[in-house]
Amino acid sequence: MSLKKIFSILVLLFLIISCTILFVLQSLYFIFRTASSTEKELMKSVDGSPLTIPALVICNRMPFSQDGVNSVNGNLRQDPAMRYLLEWTNPSLREDADYVTMSQSYMNQGQTILFQYLPQNIRNHSINQMEYECQSVINSCSYQGVFIQAYDCCKNILYHVPTTHGLCWVYHDRSMLQNSSSPLKQFTITFQMSRNSWYSQQTTPIHPGVDIFLRENTDDVVSLVHQLENPIRLLDKKGIRLRMRKEKKADTRRSHCGQTLGEAVSADTNALENNRTNFLLCTIMVSIHYCECHPLIAEMIPLDIRNYRFEFRFLFRDFSVRVNSTQVCTVEQYEACSRRYIDVTRPSAWTDAIPSDLPGAEEILECRR
């Protein structure tokens, strides 16, 4: 074989190898970009077998009754005060498409009245006292065709759960099972409120409805504070029928989640058990430092340190000390500062980067770990 032919073969091999390497390097960019913006998701459907009926988180969008307000202080039954209280206890109102902004003087008037008659030492108790009683909201229940009176229905209600969607109740009966393949109605709940019972027929002649959230369980009540998303809204004289199907999803693209659904569930359980910070409480403490006030929700979170492991008790004590040593945020302070901190704790933001322009971003990143 001539030297010229050998040289030509070597040049050809060199060009083929070079082109292959360049093609691979160029493709890697698109491979990595696609992998970082998508999920490899495993999904398991559980359908047809008896399932525990999920917990119902019930958030009345008009939680204060006239009788309840009168029992605290009749001076609070003024439209500016009650409108301010609604926005104060339910930050999600400003996210609604039909939200109507009130004038600054109107809101200032409401704030003045509330701060006068609801000082911090009695505020939580007074706000709870102003809410509807259970039997004034829940008319009846039924399970597998058996009628349940309001009194017995209300025995399964956990009251006074503050959330970013307002003041909520939780209905959960672990003994209730439902077979999703059965055509029979398994569980129903009926809400009924008299038209003259809510705080003002002048500003709210039509009840704004009740938001319902479904949760697998309520073992961690604190998680309800910031993890409620995608509500089912019940409006006046309207009903909703749901057919339950349980699905479990796992993002196996993330190596720390494992490669199977079971491994992903175990990874989540382990992360929760070994979380030394509690993302919500830790983030609120960061917000207190930079906003110089605490959100109203912070002083209403039901914390019972006896229900948590020893290492969490120091966190809860520190949290309580910081809340009790600072002023509560006004509605405007919450919107201007605290809301951004609470928003990063929502499930929809868990995989997003912490905004770099948010004061204390590095501290929040530590809270998330």
pLDDT reading at 92 higher than 60? yes
Percent residues over pLDDT 90 in the chain: 50
Mean pLDDT for 315-336 is 92
- Confidence (pLDDT) at 201: 55
* pLDDT score at 311: 56
- How does residue 107 score in pLDDT terms, banded at 50, 70 and 90? very high
* pLDDT tops 90 at residue 307: no
Tell me what pLDDT residue 231 has: 93
Name the least confident of 255-264, 311-320, 359-368.
Answer: 255-264
| Banded model confidence at residue 166, pLDDT cuts 50, 70, 90 | very high
pLDDT of 40 above 70: no
- Residue range 32-47: mean pLDDT, rounded: 52
Q: Is the pTM of this model over 0.95?
A: no
- Long-range CB pairs of 187-190 (<8 Å, 24+ gap) are 187/53, 187/141, 187/142, 187/143, 187/144, 188/141, 188/142, 189/56, 189/138, 189/140, 189/141, 189/153, 190/138, 190/139, 190/140, 190/141
Predicted confidence at residue 259, as pLDDT, reads 65
Cβ-in-10-Å burial (0-12, 13-18, 19+) of 293 comes to: middle
pLDDT at 340 over 60: yes
Mean of pLDDT values over 136-150: 92
Confidence label for 324 from pLDDT (cuts 50, 70 and 90): very high
**Is the pLDDT score of 159 beyond 80?**
yes
Which of the pair, 22 or 274, is modelled with greater confidence? 22
pLDDT of residue 182: 63
Question: Confidence class of residue 37 from pLDDT cuts 50, 70 and 90?
Answer: very low
CA distance 168 to 346: 17
Section 333-345 average pLDDT: 97
What is the pLDDT, as a whole number, of residue 241?
Answer: 79
SS (H, E, C) the chain: CCHHHHHHHHHHHHHHHHHHHHHHHHHHHHHHHHHHHCCCEEEEEECCCEEECCEEEEEECCCEEHHHHHHHCHHHCCHHHHHHHHHHHCHHHHHCCCCCCCCHHHHHHHHHHHHHHCCHHHHHHHHHHHECCHHHCEEEEEECCEEEEHHHHHHHEEEEEEECCEEEEEECCCCCEEECCCCCCCEEEEECCCCCCECCCCCCCCCCCEEEEEECCCCCHHHHCCCCCCCEEECCCCCCCCCCCEEEEEECCCHHHCCCHHHHHHHHHHHHHCCCCCHHHHHHHHHHHHHCCECHHHHCCCCCHHHCCHHHHHHHHHHHHHHHCCCECCHHHHHHHHHHHHHCCCHHHCCCCCCCCCCCHHHHHHHHC
Res 299 pLDDT > 50: yes
- Arithmetic mean of pLDDT over the chain: 83
pLDDT band for 277, please (50, 70, 90 cuts).
Answer: low
